[in-house]
Structure 1
Amino acid sequence: MRYIQKRKAEGKRLTVTNFVAAALSRALYEDIPDINCFVRRGKVVYRQDANVCISVSVKEGKEMTGLVIPKTQELSVSEIADYAAERIEKKRKGEDAGAFAAKDVVAKIPWPFRRPVFLFIKWWIFDLGFSFPFLKIPHDPFGSIMLTNIGTWGLTTGMPALFPIGKLPAVLSIGKIEKKPVVVDGQIVIRSILPISGTFDHRIVDGAQGGKLAHGIVERLKNPEGVLAIAKMPSGRSNPDVQSTYPALYLWQINDPGNLGAIMRTTLWFGIGTILISPGSVDVYSPKVVRSAMGALFRLTLVTDISFDRIEKLMERDGAKLWAADMSGVTAKPAITGDRIILAFGSESHGLPQEVLRRSAGVIGIKKYGYGESLNLAVSVGVILNTIRQN
């Protein structure tokens, strides 16, 4: 809520619905895609994207309509807000199109014929999978899943209807945010609580799948960094030219994503712009790495799958010197000179292999003053880089 208020002060209107739609689409698309489907003539038909349908009040709150956000899983919260604002304005001006606008046309049909017409449209669109050009209804007009905000009407919980013609696996409702006492770390504190309830089609969704969807939504709302923006993932560089980007780090089989993200932040802090990463390391774009890097990976040159043979070729080509970090290293300030240096750090459990230690110009260690088996790898990188920069 603080972030929403901050953006509002900056002139950007975001809503809780925008955040929940982003979290819901990603949970559906990434965590539980097997429920992103509907049943047609006894067969399950899967959808390719997570298109969230949100309910919208029109005509001064007297009627409700819906808005489908295409490929919601690819949009940031701000993009969802912009798209929704533009389309909602058109709907409130009566410029609506599609399935929700068609209901006004169907409503004008005399009641004895209304149901047969309705059933025919349902059969044509959902059972056969065709669009309805006359009424401008696409073949899948209600998206993948529906989200309605009943909190705007002062309600906290509700059981929304499944809306059978929509062929939706679930309909979720957001309730009014209220401050309530909760237990945090054994203490009773006041927190703002957002109630979310839902109704599910049990032909598609069972309890375990519903729980997984709920967990995915909660985790993304607890960590909004994961849903605030979308960035294209760059492909790894296979033939790096690091001659002009020394000094550089060489990381050997780093397996902990949190450590790798923290190392990225630390490296950037000390003015080192290139990290070379060996095969067998964690994916540099895994969610935990991205979150713990806190944006540092967008400012670094990351080169993956670099074997030590290639490091040796870089050293020969550029005249670079390799310095290794190891518990067996000297703890005095290393006499590192020149700009063309590569600092090597090994995995959390095994350290650097002997071939790297033998090939290095020197092995650096950290003096222990108290107790402990070892230092965290990211902490070790920070200590050593600070020592080198002080030189």
Structure 2
Amino acid sequence: MFSKQQQKYVQSLQIKKYRQEHQRFLVEGAKSVVELLNADFEIELLLCTERFFLENEKKLKKISVEQISQSELEKSGTLQSNDAALAVVKMRENKFLVADENEFVLILDDIRDPGNLGTILRIADWYGIKKVICSENTVDFYNPKVISASMGSFSRIDVYYSIISEYIENINKNVNIEIIGTFLNSENVHRFEFPTNGYIVLGNESKGISAEVEKFITKKITIPRFGHAESLNVGIATAVVLDNLKRRE
């Protein structure tokens, strides 16, 4: 039986402090949990309705499963409506990542909104980007809202948190590589000649790329404006830049 103590533990993982303490996070909803079952994350506990269990029984044989009601699911998680499943999952180690030959990696400088980070992960997954570097003050990858907004893409993206300036200094020790940053009034991304590999930096929703990171940028690009909007959402900007990158491959 799903005890009150278990419920309290699961609910605590909505808060970053307790996620870090237990090194566990939540994945909620049918789509995200099914994506999780096909990934290499370690699942500590799966809470699900009878219907979800029956639909996915073959995939659940080696997982600790508790069948509970929809109301218990909704009380335990963050989703207002969850008629399927919720998983308690072990975090991955924060492993150093670097761009391989013919590979581009995203660098996120102080992205604060969980929905934006989740959307960026989903867009990166769409365009085949497999690695994302996040500044230490970027929103937590394991935030339930990030996981939910990624629509399962969190399971296919490797993420590394670091001080961005130190990270770039580190990767530049061995080889000079292009660090491409998105700015206003720079080279038109539609005409920009992307190199064969490198890093693409996207900045804070309101302030853009910080001065500390800007000094490492080797090429500056901009998405040209044809109307009167003041700015683009960072997720949309990510999609536009990656679409232009892939057109040249």
TM-score normalised per structure 1: 0.45
1:29 to 9, 19, 22: 9
Deviation sequence 1:206-251 (CA, Å, 0-9, x none): xxxxxxx9983695451457x34343221212x3354458310110
Q: Superposition pairs for residues 253-292 of structure 1, below 5 Å? A: 253-292=110-149
Give 5+ residue unaligned stretches, structure 1: 1-17, 34-72, 86-146, 148-173, 175-193, 197-212
Q: Which residue is 2:81 aligned to?
A: 222
Runs of 4 or more above 3 Å deviation: 24-33, 78-82, 213-221, 227-230, 239-245
Match of 1:338 in 2: 196
Task: Verify: 1:232 aligned to 2:90, yes or no.
Answer: yes
TM-superposed CA distance for 1:372, in Å, is 1.5
- 1:358 aligns with one of 215, 218, 240: 215
**Alignment check: 8 A CA contact 1:245 1:274 kept:** no
- What is the letter of the counterpart of residue 295 of structure 1? G
Percentage of pairs with the same residue: 25
Q: How many residues align?
A: 204
Report the CA distance between 1:31 and its aligned residue: 4.1
Partner AA of 2:104 in structure 1: P
Could you tell me which of 145, 150, 171 is aligned with 1:314?
171
Alignment of structure 1 residues 41-60 onto 2, 5 Å = none
Deviation at 1:275, TM superposition (A): 0.4
Q: Does 1:76 align with 2:56?
A: no
Partner of 2:23: none
Contact 2:11 2:76 in 1 (8 A): no
Quick one: distance in 2 between partners of 1:298 and 1:215? 23
Q: Distance in 2 between matches of 1:224 and 1:367?
A: 44
Match of 2:159, SS state, is: strand
Deviation at 1:269, TM superposition (A): 1.0
Q: Secondary structure at the match of 1:229?
A: strand
1:151 corresponds to: none
Match of 1:372 in 2: 229
Change (3 A) 1:267 1:26: farther
Q: Hey, what's the Cα distance between the residues in 2 that align with 1:295 and 1:327?
A: 32
**How far off is 1:292 after superposition?**
0.6
**Structure 2: 5+ residue runs without aligned partners?**
14-43, 58-67
Matches within 5 A, 1:132-281: 216=75, 220=79, 222-223=81-82, 227-237=85-95, 239-243=96-100, 246-281=103-138
Quote the Cα distance in structure 2 between the aligned partners of 1:214 and 1:229: 10
**RCO greater where, 1 or 2, for CA within 8 Å and sep 6 or more?**
2
Change (3 A) 1:241 1:361: closer
Secondary structure at the aligned position of 2:195 is classed as coil
Pair member with larger Rg: 1
Q: Deviation per CA, 1:281-308: give whole Å up to 9, x if none.
A: 1110010001111111211111112431
- Aligned counterpart in structure 1 of residue 151 of structure 2, from 294, 317, 320: 294
Q: Aligned partners of 1:224, 1:342: CA distance in 2, in Å?
A: 40
Residues 32 and 270 from structure 1, CA distance in 2 versus in 1: closer, same or farther, beyond 3 angstroms?
Answer: closer
Counterpart Cα distance in 2 of 1:218 and 1:315: 42
